[in-house]
Amino acid sequence: KNEVEQSPQNLTAQEGEFITINCSYSVGISALHWLQQHPGGGIVSLFMLSSGKKKHGRLIATINIQEKHSSLHITASHPRDSAVYICAAPNSGGYQKVTFGTGTKLQVIP
Amino acid sequence: DAGVIQSPRHEVTEMGQEVTLRCKPISGHNSLFWYRQTMMRGLELLIYFNNNVPIDDSGMPEDRFSAKMPNASFSTLKIQPSEPRDSAVYFCASSLWKTGAGELFFGEGSRLTVL
């Protein structure tokens, strides 16, 4: 089983701040998922990445396979970014059984 | 595409009753996952299917839980008999699996309360 750790667990930011959420995993993987969950809401896939960097709007995800580490960045944060961000890593490279991190609860204050 | 569709969105039942949760995956996806989310344990994989075949059900907590996927467009998760500790949000997700894992697309979830 892949051990997945996220930090920080909770994060409060002022609107406009640059935000970084970190994810470390123990087993080498082929791809890592970043998910977003709004309070009481469903889960949305933000990124699935296997190398380098991906960007979507104000969101940027990076991964370093050698260091077994990924980061999710939010530029120019906005209150609507307030949500729980979850990373998930497969238990073995290429497989579909993922282990989820405990999530980072982000609150962006106007 | 309408996305992954789950029903019911909310279910309140009494202990001992049978509960059936339903899921329609995204058309064309060949993998389907059932997850459970609780405050204590976070998100956990219960079972997943590839091409309608159960691949790994090691996350199913007990024999009271069963899941089926009779065809590519429908799956059920059944709990019989239900217990208060089964109260959770149950998510269904689908993906397109080729040579590796595909991006996960989640349904809105079914919030189950067992009294």
Q: What is the pLDDT of residues A53-71, one digit of tens each?
A: 999 999 999 999 889 999 9
Bridge partners, residue B27, by sequence: none
* B40 contact A CB<8A: no
Bridge partners, residue B67, by sequence: B77
Tell me what pLDDT residue B102 has.
83
In angstroms, the CA B23 to CA B28 distance is 14
Non-local CB neighbours of B46 within 8 Å, separated by 6+ positions? B34, B35, B36, B57, B59, B60, B61, B65, B67, B77, B90
* B3 contact A CB<8A: no
**Which residues on chain A are in Cβ contact (under 8 Å) with B101?**
30-31, 48, 90, 94-96, 98
Q: How confident is the model at residue A95 (pLDDT cuts 50, 70, 90)?
A: low
In angstroms, the CA A60 to CA A95 distance is 24
**Which residues on chain A are in Cβ contact (under 8 Å) with B91?**
42-43
Where chain B has pLDDT below 70, the residues are 1, 99-101
**Res. A94: pLDDT tops 80:** no
CA–CA min distance B68, chain A (Å): 18
CB atoms B106 and A42 under 8 Å: yes
pLDDT digits (tens, 9 = 90+) for B79-90: 999 999 999 999
pLDDT digits (tens, 9 = 90+) for B58-78: 889 889 999 999 999 999 999
Of residues A91 and A60, more confidence is placed in A60
Tell me what pLDDT residue A64 has.
92
* Pair B35, B48: CB distance under 8 Å: no
Question: Coil, helix or strand for B85?
Answer: helix
Tell me what pLDDT residue B98 has.
76
Nearest C-alpha in A relative to B95: A96
Can you say how many angstroms the Cα of residue A40 is from the centroid of all Cα atoms in its chain?
19
Question: Coil, helix or strand for A97?
Answer: coil
Question: Coil, helix or strand for A103?
Answer: coil
pLDDT digits (tens, 9 = 90+) for A17-43: 999 999 999 887 778 999 999 988 889
Which of B32, B33, B38, B45 is the best residue to mutate to test the A interface, defined by the most A CB atoms within 10 Å of its own CB? B45
* B57 contact A CB<8A: no
Of residues A2 and B28, more confidence is placed in B28
Tell me what pLDDT residue B1 has.
63
- Tell me the pLDDT of chain A averaged across its residues: 91
